[in-house]
Structure 1
Amino acid sequence: MCAYAAGQVYLNYMNGEWTAASTGRTIPSLNPANPKEIVGYVQESSREDLDRAVAAAKAAFRSWRKLSGAERGDLLFKAAAILERRADEVAETMTREMGKTLPEAKGETLRGVAILRYYAGEGMRKIGEVIPSTDRDALMFTTRVPLGVVGIISPWNFPVAIPIWKTAPALVYGNTVVLKPSEEASVTAAKVVECFEEAGLPAGVLNLVGGYGSVVGQALAEHPDVSGITFTGSNRTGKQIGQIALTRGAKYQLEMGGKNPIIIAADADLDQAVEATVSGGLRSTGQKCTATSRVMVMREVYDAFKAKLLDKVSAIKVGDGMEAGVWMGPCVSEKQQKTVLGYIEKGLAEGARLLAGGGKPADPALAEGYFVQPTVFEDVTKEMTIAREEIFGPVLALIPVDSLEEAIELANDSEYGLSASIFTKDIASMLAFIRETDAGLVRVNAETAGVELQAPFGGMKQSSSHSREQGQAAIEFFTAVKTVFVKA
């Protein structure tokens, strides 16, 4: 299973072997730019299959945890080198399977390489500290120990980066893993797992189980031998997983939705702000939890900003992400396309004014794909559905404001709190925004989407379980602190 081949069957990976699901059934993974193309078939697994994967991970944990962090890190370094060598193949698979453009897919794959190397180095970092004891004849210190078997439920929108930024720290800190990827991105996930296999990861340390979330994801959350579960996806599913994990006493980590605002101050560099708004809101077809959605613009620059924004949006080329020059690909599936179009219809019905887009592209060559035009609304009020609910598509809502205070108040008027940004040259405005914005990621003179791999990532309010991923913060979830007291 080394080269891309349309229509190939991809198996589960359990205990170091590629095996078919016990059901005998597969799920076709379609190219959203051309749904007639089947990218591959992935396994429709059962609870029985999930049980086998967890059992393999539990058995492998005994020896895996005994390796040094450096030894585990060496295997991640090897996996990174293999993924880098296969970057073109993996990126092409990603583009065909979930639709983002090939340059974006290549960039994400190389980010996965960098994440692997970062966490490989974590195997040599400190995992505790010495604490003074009141007993002069004693030594007291802390260390960190792995949780055990960790379940990973990953989404389709970043099918390389997100599984890797969960898997890599889990492994380097001594856990074993059962990965359940989205069925819309399971072919890409299989290729990532192949890299770990080729690197020589011991059998059972990393296991891949394909299938539907209602079956495999549910079983993973409920399994008594899964000590921790990390999830990225919708709020509805995330809350269900959190409740299940809480009930049985498992550790859980949830990263969910966003309704991310950008504030354009009167002194902003409008060209820079427009570039960031378009990139943050429409790149990857708006299918990012950190995508820009609400655009608060100071009234005195509103018309100038709008004109520049519409010029930029009108130049966007929509099409198959494999084609050179295409800037925005399709939605990941017909269901997602219908969801986005439904939100656009709600915006119109509730009185928002359509400035650009608003439907499927007119090009007959794109008629069968799951495409949506880049869409811009104005006359949007804070009560409207498109100003409150996460759309997860290429839709921007322009909202004029009269002051920074009003802009921040509107930005915070959301159940979400994932990311937010401001464009301004004024230091006082920057500091007020940083201090008062209720978001886990705030960015100044940069788009809302994007976080560096060495920095903690996570949201506030309904955007997360208030834990953080990536960077050195990952150790907080994937390990437990053990306090040691040694008496002479």
Structure 2
Amino acid sequence: MIQFSDQPGLIESIQELRKYQLRPEQPSLESRLKCLENLCEVLAQPQEGWIKAVAQETDVPETCVRNAEFAGFAAGLSRELSLFRTGRDLVPTGLISILSPRVFPLRTTLERLVPAYLAGDPCIVKFSSRTSSAKQIFMDVLAEAKLDVEGMAVTSAPSEQLLPVLTAHPSIRGVSFVGSLKTAGEIQDLLQHFCRFQAWTGGITSWLCLSADDLERVAQELRLLAVKWGYNHPYFPKKIFVLESFAEKARSVLQELWPLLPGSQVSVSGLVAKMTSEGAKVRYEGSPALVEDLPHCSEFHQLEIAEPVVQLVAVKYIHEMVKWINTGSYGLLAQIWGPAEKAVKLAPKIECGLVTINEALQADQSLLFGMKESALGINDLTPEGCFFSQKRTVIMEIQGGSDFVSK
């Protein structure tokens, strides 16, 4: 695996990867699948040092790192590999830039590296400059799984000088990015017209509680989520919608729950002060914080909030919950808690990439989904889709005309 730390090193790496791509002999699809089976085994039983290092570097609980970054991804990948048939003629897209975020760097990188690897695309992986340990663990994991890494380059150098080359170099055929909407916009401005692009920019996870009878379940699931995943996880809700008819009970249940939640080291005082200056009421001080009655005109309804601050939003009718979610810029995840017959009718109206009904997400489910500004470009993570591979049609002359040999 090639390592580099500056722009000249990146350009040299691109040249080497182009040579690799032009080699007449490449590993077979069967051998790649075998290597990915090895990868599943390595990730299913990660070294404790890996877990501690990633947890410390990303400010995510160790239990969450173990489940989301390692074991959960291994379970999901193992299931996907069992469905993937060998013998497919995949035509690589070409050199792919993979730009990873600070939070969940291994999971988000591997979710895009695997389809690129199966399709035969060489890759340049750019880790955040704040996750150098994750970069080293990534290399160790691939080495232990015995993946063919000749077609890969990796760095955790700062983005300032590298981003224009990673996105606009004529040899780059695709850019896959996870991070802020601001950076995604900068990448789009730099892209060449022939370069494929996909981006996941996060968003706001909303929970919709449809009845007072489900409040205790909501509180229980919220506590489990906080303990297991922490507040940085995209599954953790930043908005909880309830009806005005049981808003007082919801407030009471959540105020009883909040002291039982694990504390966070992230300061929220500045954000809470801004919300209260707009009229919001603080129902629980500290980190995490619970606020209510944020005015409808507040910009905080549109913004992705990274800090552990949860908004309780009471509306008169159920359809208003959908309205407030759909008017936002993001469309990540909505979880509905309530009578199934009502939830099933409600779910198709919500503009989110994933909607769940009375079920918490599991560790083996992908972190990458979304609609609107949560997911930009070609939202595809399959090796035989429209991002990591291309379709080839072969036409052969036969007696009396021509026929398609393969696609």
Task: Give 1:162 deviation, angstroms.
Answer: 0.8
Task: Give 1:167 deviation, angstroms.
Answer: 0.8
Matched, 1:216 2:143: no
Q: 252-261 or 78-87, which moves further after superposition?
A: 78-87
Q: Following the alignment from structure 1 to structure 2, what is the Cα–Cα distance between the partners of residues 397 and 147?
A: 43
- Map 1:170-209 onto structure 2 (within 5 A): 170-209=116-155
- For the aligned residue pairs, the C-alpha RMSD in angstroms reads 2.6
Contact 1:153-1:217 at 8 Å conserved across structures: no
The partner residue of 2:276 within 334, 348, 353 is: 348
Task: Give 1:283 deviation, angstroms.
Answer: 6.4
Matched, 1:434 2:347: yes
Q: SS of the residue aligned with 1:227?
A: strand
Q: SS of the residue aligned with 1:168?
A: helix
Matched, 1:111 2:72: yes
Q: SS of the residue aligned with 2:391?
A: strand
Q: Following the alignment from structure 2 to structure 1, what is the Cα–Cα distance between the partners of residues 265 and 163?
A: 26
The partner residue of 1:475 within 381, 385, 391 is: 385
Matched, 1:256 2:167: no
Distance 1:475 1:119, change over 3 A: farther
Counterpart of 1:357 in structure 2 is 285
- Map 1:387-406 onto structure 2 (within 5 A): 387-406=301-320
Task: Give 1:85 deviation, angstroms.
Answer: 4.1
Task: Give 1:58 deviation, angstroms.
Answer: 2.1
Paired amino acid for 2:347? I
1:32-59 deviation line (CA, Å, top 9, x unaligned): xxxxxxxxxxxxx211121232223222
Q: Following the alignment from structure 1 to structure 2, what is the Cα–Cα distance between the partners of residues 461 and 388?
A: 12
- Map 1:291-330 onto structure 2 (within 5 A): 291-318=236-263, 330=265
Q: SS of the residue aligned with 1:183?
A: coil
Q: Following the alignment from structure 2 to structure 1, what is the Cα–Cα distance between the partners of residues 29 and 110?
A: 17
Contact 2:97-2:174 at 8 Å conserved across structures: yes
Q: Following the alignment from structure 2 to structure 1, what is the Cα–Cα distance between the partners of residues 310 and 63?
A: 23
The partner residue of 2:376 within 465, 468, 477 is: 465
Counterpart of 1:69 in structure 2 is 29
Contact 2:91-2:391 at 8 Å conserved across structures: yes
Paired amino acid for 1:485? I
Counterpart of 2:216 in structure 1 is 271
Paired amino acid for 1:478? F
Q: SS of the residue aligned with 2:291?
A: strand
Q: 431-440 or 77-86, which moves further after superposition?
A: 77-86
Counterpart of 2:402 in structure 1 is none
Task: Give 1:351 deviation, angstroms.
Answer: 1.1
The partner residue of 2:85 within 118, 124, 135 is: 124
Task: Give 1:125 deviation, angstroms.
Answer: 4.7
Task: Give 1:154 deviation, angstroms.
Answer: 0.7
Paired amino acid for 2:208? I
Task: Give 1:403 deviation, angstroms.
Answer: 1.2
Task: Give 1:116 deviation, angstroms.
Answer: 4.5
1:266-303 deviation line (CA, Å, top 9, x unaligned): 25421111233455578655323443112110112222
Matched, 1:102 2:73: no
Distance 1:168 1:183, change over 3 A: same
Can you give the 5+ residue segments of structure 1 that lack an aligned partner in the other structure? 1-12, 22-44, 128-142, 319-328, 332-336, 359-372
Contact 1:154-1:233 at 8 Å conserved across structures: yes
Contact 1:150-1:177 at 8 Å conserved across structures: yes
Distance 1:382 1:89, change over 3 A: same
Task: Give 1:215 deviation, angstroms.
Answer: 2.3
Q: Following the alignment from structure 1 to structure 2, what is the Cα–Cα distance between the partners of residues 184 and 266?
A: 43
Q: Following the alignment from structure 1 to structure 2, what is the Cα–Cα distance between the partners of residues 282 and 378?
A: 23
Q: Following the alignment from structure 2 to structure 1, what is the Cα–Cα distance between the partners of residues 334 and 114?
A: 27
Distance 1:284 1:204, change over 3 A: same
Q: SS of the residue aligned with 1:344?
A: helix
Contact 1:421-1:442 at 8 Å conserved across structures: yes
Contact 2:278-2:295 at 8 Å conserved across structures: no
Task: Give 1:87 deviation, angstroms.
Answer: 3.6
Q: SS of the residue aligned with 2:304?
A: coil
Paired amino acid for 1:53? S
Paired amino acid for 2:198? Q
Task: Give 1:330 deviation, angstroms.
Answer: 3.9
Contact 1:281-1:396 at 8 Å conserved across structures: no
Q: Following the alignment from structure 2 to structure 1, what is the Cα–Cα distance between the partners of residues 304 and 120?
A: 36
Q: SS of the residue aligned with 1:211?
A: coil
Task: Give 1:172 deviation, angstroms.
Answer: 1.2
Q: SS of the residue aligned with 1:93?
A: helix
Distance 1:279 1:216, change over 3 A: farther
Distance 1:176 1:115, change over 3 A: farther
Count of residues in correspondence between the two structures:
397
Q: Following the alignment from structure 1 to structure 2, what is the Cα–Cα distance between the partners of residues 175 and 235?
A: 26
Q: Following the alignment from structure 1 to structure 2, what is the Cα–Cα distance between the partners of residues 483 and 243?
A: 33
Matched, 1:148 2:87: no
Counterpart of 2:295 in structure 1 is 381
Q: Following the alignment from structure 2 to structure 1, what is the Cα–Cα distance between the partners of residues 254 and 140?
A: 42
Matched, 1:48 2:8: yes
Q: Following the alignment from structure 1 to structure 2, what is the Cα–Cα distance between the partners of residues 423 and 64?
A: 55
Q: TM-score, normalized by length of structure 1?
A: 0.75
Q: SS of the residue aligned with 1:107?
A: helix
The partner residue of 1:445 within 336, 349, 358 is: 358
Task: Give 1:241 deviation, angstroms.
Answer: 1.3
Counterpart of 1:414 in structure 2 is 328
Distance 1:56 1:250, change over 3 A: same
Q: Following the alignment from structure 1 to structure 2, what is the Cα–Cα distance between the partners of residues 268 and 256?
A: 34
